[in-house]
Amino acid sequence: MFKRFTAILLLVTLISSNFSMFMVYAGFEMNHKYIAENLCINRSRPWMHCNGKCYFMKKIHQAEENEKKQEAKDNLNRLEVSFFQEPFQLSFIEPAILETVKSSFPPYTYQYSSRYIETIFRPPTVSV
C-alpha cells in the first residue's frame, strides 16, 4: 500500500512539474468565476470583457519565469568536470642484437658409411 501511494505521488509530482502551464490553465478554468469577480485587474471595467484573462496571463508569465529560473538552476548544477592527464606511453627496451658468434667447431658432415645398408636395399633391376 505504501509503495503504491509513493509511486502515485512521484508520478503526480513528475507530471505536475512537466505540465505547469496545463496546471495553470486547469486552475483558471476551475476558479474562473472567483477570479473574474475578485482577482481580475479589470473587474471595475466590465465593458472590457476581461473576465479574469489578465490574471490568467499574469500567472502564465509567472510560470514561464519560474521554468526559466529552474532551467538556469539546473544548468548550474550540471557542472562538467573534465579530467586531463598526459597520455601514458608504454615503452619497451629493445633487445640488443648480438653478432653471430663464430664457432670453432667444423660444420657437421655425415661421414658414416656402411656396406650393410647397401647390400640389403637394392633397387630392382629391369630385365629386358
* Each residue's pLDDT tens digit, 15-37: 766 677 777 788 888 888 888 88
Q: Is residue 9 part of a domain?
A: no
Higher pLDDT, 108 or 59: 59
Asked if pLDDT for residue 6 goes beyond 90, the answer is yes
pLDDT of 43: 76
Q: Is residue 48 part of a domain?
A: yes
Q: Is residue 121 part of a domain?
A: no
pLDDT of 7: 92
pLDDT of 8: 92
Dist. CA 110–CA 128, nearest whole Å: 37
Enclosing domain of residue 59 = 19-77
Q: Is residue 98 part of a domain?
A: no
Dist. CA 4–CA 65, nearest whole Å: 34
Residue 54 pLDDT grade (very low, low, confident, very high; cuts 50, 70, 90): confident
- Number of domains composing the chain: 1
pLDDT of 122: 67
Q: Is residue 118 part of a domain?
A: no
Long-range contacts of 53-57 (CB under 8 A, 24+ apart): 55/28, 56/24, 56/25, 56/28
Q: Which residues of 72-98 are buried (b: 16+ CB within 10 A; e: fewer)?
A: eeeeeeeeeeeeeeeeeeeeeeeeeee
pTM for the whole thing?
Answer: 0.43
Q: How far is CA 126 from CA 77, 118, 121, 123, in A?
A: 102, 18, 16, 9
Longest Cα pair distance anywhere in the chain, in angstroms? 143
